[in-house]
Amino acid sequence: MPEKLNAKELCAKARRLRKVILEMCIARGGHLASSFSCIEILVCLYYGGLLKFDPRRPGWNGRDRFVLSKGHAEAAYYAVLADLGFFPSGWLDEQYRRGLCRLGGHPDHKLPGVEVSTGALGHGLGMAVGMALAARSDRSERKHVVLMGDAECTEGAVWEAALLASCHKLDNLLAIVDRNRIGSLDFTENYTSLDPLADKWRAFGWQVAECDGHDPGRLLQCLEDLGASRHPAPRMLIAHTVKAKGIDFMENDPIWHVRSLDDPSLIAEARRQVEGGGPDGHA
């Protein structure tokens, strides 16, 4: 387990990892906007003392289980896992979307630190429900955390899993929705009605909290409060985020879900902003 970082240190960690992710995506493509949307969430989980794990023993049975259901945030996930030492940092250059890459375009269960393969949306929550049911059957105290996309919540299977988890009162399950309000083509509310999203999850029997998904202090507080609750229900954190947070010309624009950052002047500007900590220097 790495040393638990405080909110300020978590900010610095996220800023440093943004640089790593940016260089990965400049070199090899990848879902930069989706990764920047959830990097503070990942950093809080892995460096904020919320997940138990051991990079030297990825299969250690006492670990908490994390599932990146929005598998297209793989660049952020790989950057975190490499930084923690689950695999060599060199892989980010040598193996990411390159050749017969070990670090492919979506996470793979064979990778150290990755529980299950994801990439097709709407699978992660159900698999985590299964793991949580197994933990209960085995009298294990471990936690199960799933990070989902908001547009992923238009998959019917998500709500099937939500129903079963609440019926079984799976208080060992925490799901986080990265609520950046953008899918791959358009703003979510232009084609579906996710809002009021928190009310929907509450109606499904979940204990729900909401916060700014780019503020490590608020994230930590919310996650700790949810974890400490004795309410017999699965937990949901809706983290309000900005897609591509940290690069102003990409922020909150659906086209950057798929567009590659290959224009030299835009690359230079993106580097300048990420180096400086965001367009206004405070991201």
In whole angstroms, the minimum distance from the beta carbon of 232 to other proteins comes to: 17
Per CB under 8 A, 23 contacts other proteins: no
Among positions 26, 157, 198, 267, the unique one binding other proteins when judged by CB under 8 A:
157
Give me the DSSP letters along 83-116.
HHTSS-THHHHHTBTSSS-SB-SS--TTSTT--S
Q: What is the CA radius of gyration of the chain?
A: 18
In whole angstroms, the minimum distance from the beta carbon of 209 to other proteins comes to: 24
Per CB under 8 A, 1 contacts other proteins: no
Q: How far from 182 is each of 58, 199, 203, 257, CA to CA, in Å? A: 33, 19, 23, 9
CA angle at residue 46 from 40 to 51, to 5 degrees? 130
The residue among 109 and 282 lying less far from other proteins, judged by its C-beta, is 109
The residue among 72 and 240 lying less far from other proteins, judged by its C-beta, is 72
Would you say 96 and 21 are in contact if contact means Cβ atoms under 8 Å apart?
no
Among positions 15, 63, 123, 218, the unique one binding other proteins when judged by CB under 8 A:
123
Residues 170-199 that bind other proteins (CB under 8 A): none
CA distance 149 to 122: 9
Fill in the DSSP letter of residue 187. B
Sorted by sequence, the CB contacts under 8 Å of residue 130 that are 6+ apart come out as none
CA distance 191 to 174: 27
Per CB under 8 A, 147 contacts other proteins: no
Residues 98-117: x/- map of binding to other proteins (CB under 8 A)? Answer: -----------x-----xxx
HSE toward the beta carbon, residue 42, CA cutoff 13 A: 30
In whole angstroms, the minimum distance from the beta carbon of 85 to other proteins comes to: 23
Per CB under 8 A, 120 contacts other proteins: yes
In whole angstroms, the minimum distance from the beta carbon of 6 to other proteins comes to: 33
Per CB under 8 A, 234 contacts other proteins: no
The residue among 22 and 161 lying less far from other proteins, judged by its C-beta, is 161
Per CB under 8 A, 122 contacts other proteins: yes
Per CB under 8 A, 70 contacts other proteins: no
Would you say 66 and 116 are in contact if contact means Cβ atoms under 8 Å apart?
no
The residue among 156 and 264 lying less far from other proteins, judged by its C-beta, is 156
CA distance 146 to 15: 23
Per CB under 8 A, 203 contacts other proteins: no
Q: Which stretch binds other proteins (CB under 8 A): 6-14, 82-90, 120-128, 185-193?
A: 120-128
Q: Which amino acid is at 170?
A: L
Residues found near other proteins in the complex (CB under 8 A): 109, 115-117, 119-120, 122-123, 125-135, 137-138, 156-157, 160-161, 163-164
